[in-house]
């Protein structure tokens, strides 16, 4: 019988060790996911911890719940003004790019590795999505940022390409179980899932901002709880309708993050912490599921597939969809190199285990090894490649101002944080020339580690974080001022 006290003790120790080891991730330039997975493996049945765990179903459920919160938190932190110029590029990468990557890997698996056709297709589908969060952790640890639209492009791609990988994986498993469909039927199913995900995401996003500004709980602590429950509601409702729940919850996060609602700052801080807890729990659980001795037989095959992903599949999955995009060749090459695999492939690899797909154990071990090698072999090289391709930029500290005043429903005034995008038309202009509404005032400006009270002559720079005290009726006008782009920025 499970001892609850022992379970809580072990769980707390694993989380605390994972938090402590993130400093090692910063110093080594290794994505934190690798270290979290390693902790799970060390705590597992073949490691010093000796915890026997082999429940693929529980691991999958933990992963799905964790992804709900991670995607929602990612949406909350997405600046629509920054990602809007790269929207169609990211959509192309998240759809056509994923299909091309999956197809190239599937062809290699069938004709070179001699895997059965369905296994090859499943392998390609499972490892077709990327995890840009790991990339930015590496860049941040080395104090490297990216020029132009690369950062928002990679962020939006990684947040939106998971639904396509999930769709491909589930479709292949359904076909293998006898649920045969025509090509037109599959296209219709794809449109249905993505369409429902998009519609539900937009509808629930608007509903969230409406309700968040009208609920009046006795305690402010209810707001993060309300948001958490709403994120779960969005995913589950959409999934029950056979739509893409992951897409829906990501869209709700984006809409909420770019709207104004009561206690927005405290809610964002809550979900930032919850996202970290979700990542730790998810990766440690997946690490526990792996038996390290089972990875040895797939080392050779795993290295071949990893090399294919890095040098053939990912580049084709980027260069073809972006063939006509107005981007510099160096930027396209960098995007093609930044194709780290993350948690989603490992979670998807549990699907065949649950349905007893032939060769599922071998497939899971192979995917797990590919994720590890992708993170280890590519992770350390990302800052170097960014410098060689001259797409790197100095890392600017963009600490959000810590003004805690938040308006109530009855108040006509509100303080709102804005981050000046690199391509904003207001960059290089003094505040007096911005055309802010008469009753609006920039009360605080943060530039790097420096705080200042600006005046009309203060010139805004890209990356500046400002706090604007404004009438709620003027917020849309102010938002337009900060979102306006420089002429020709979309073609850069």
> 32-43 vs 132-141: helix axis angle to the nearest 10?
110
C-alpha angle 137/143/146, rounded to 5°?
A: 80
Cα Rg of the chain (Å, integer): 23
Q: What are the C-alpha distances in Å from 464 to residues 76, 155, 414, 452?
A: 19, 20, 20, 11
CA dihedral 397, 26, 143, 330 (to 10 degrees): -130
Domains identified in the chain and CATH numbers: 4-394 (1.20.1530.20), 413-491 (3.30.70.1450)
Q: What are the C-alpha distances in Å from 475 to residues 78, 245, 371, 436?
A: 18, 31, 44, 10
pLDDT of residue 113: 93
- Tens-digit pLDDT profile for residues 378-434: 877 888 888 899 888 766 554 555 555 555 555 677 778 888 877 788 888 999 888
| Number of residues assigned to the chain | 492
pTM of the prediction? 0.80
Low-confidence ranges of the chain (pLDDT < 70): 1-2, 24-30, 132-144, 179-185, 394-411, 485-492
Q: Which residues contact 384 (CB under 8 A, 6 or more apart)?
A: none
Structural contact between residues 54 and 256, judged by C-beta atoms closer than 8 angstroms: no
pLDDT of residue 491: 44
pLDDT of residue 347: 92
Structural contact between residues 101 and 346, judged by C-beta atoms closer than 8 angstroms: no
Helix, strand, coil: what percent of the chain each, to 5? 65, 10, 30
Structural contact between residues 462 and 446, judged by C-beta atoms closer than 8 angstroms: no
């Amino acid at each position: 019988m499970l001892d609850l006290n022992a379970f809580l003790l072990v769980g707390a120790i694993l989380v605390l060790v994972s938090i402590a080891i993130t400093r090692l991730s910063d110093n080594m330039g290794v994505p934190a996911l690798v270290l979290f997975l390693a902790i799970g493996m060390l705590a597992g049945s073949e490691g010093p911890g000796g915890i026997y765990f082999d429940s693929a179903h529980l691991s999958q459920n933990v992963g799905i719940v964790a992804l709900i919160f991670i995607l929602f938190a990612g949406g909350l932190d997405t600046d629509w003004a920054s990602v809007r110029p790269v929207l169609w590029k990211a959509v192309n990468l998240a759809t056509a790019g994923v299909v091309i990557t999956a197809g190239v890997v599937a062809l290699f698996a069938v004709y070179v590795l001699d895997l059965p056709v369905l296994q090859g297709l499943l392998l390609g589908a499972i490892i077709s999505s990327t995890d840009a969060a790991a990339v930015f952790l590496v860049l941040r640890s080395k104090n490297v940022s990216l020029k132009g639209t690369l950062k928002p492009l990679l962020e939006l791609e990684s947040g939106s390409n998971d639904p396509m990988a999930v769709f491909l994986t589930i479709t292949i498993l359904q076909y293998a179980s006898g649920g045969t469909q025509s090509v037109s039927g599959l296209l219709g199913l794809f449109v249905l899932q993505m369409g429902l995900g998009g519609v539900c995401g937009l509808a629930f996003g608007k509903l969230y901002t409406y309700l968040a500004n009208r609920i009046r709980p006795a305690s402010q602590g209810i707001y993060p709880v309300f948001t958490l429950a709403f994120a779960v509601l969005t995913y589950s409702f959409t999934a029950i309708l056979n739509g893409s729940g992951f897409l829906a919850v990501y869209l709700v996060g984006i809409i909420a993050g770019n709207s104004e609602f009561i206690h927005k700052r405290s809610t964002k801080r809550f979900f930032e912490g919850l996202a970290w807890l979700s990542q730790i729990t998810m990766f440690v659980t997946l690490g526990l599921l792996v038996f390290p001795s089972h990875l040895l037989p797939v080392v050779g095959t795993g290295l071949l597939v990893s090399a294919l992903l890095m040098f053939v599949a990912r580049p084709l999955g980027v260069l073809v969809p972006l063939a006509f995009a107005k981007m510099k060749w160096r930027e396209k090459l960098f995007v093609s190199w930044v194709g780290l695999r993350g948690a989603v492939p490992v979670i998807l690899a549990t699907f065949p285990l649950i349905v007893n797909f032939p060769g599922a154990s071998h497939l899971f071990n192979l995917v797990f090894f590919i994720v590890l090698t992708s993170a280890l072999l590519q992770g350390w090289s990302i800052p170097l490649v960014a410098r060689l391709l001259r797409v790197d930029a100095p890392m600017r500290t963009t600490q959000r101002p810590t003004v805690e005043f938040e308006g109530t429903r009855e108040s006509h005034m509100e303080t709102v944080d804005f981050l000046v995008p690199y391509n904003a038309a207001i960059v290089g202009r003094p505040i007096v020339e911005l055309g802010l509404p008469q009753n609006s005032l920039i009360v605080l400006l943060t530039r790097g580690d420096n705080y200042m009270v600006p005046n009309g002559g203060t010139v805004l720079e890209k990356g500046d974080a400002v706090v604007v005290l404004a009438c709620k009726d003027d917020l849309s006008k102010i938002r337009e001022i900060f979102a306006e782009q420089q002429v020709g920025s979309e073609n850069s």
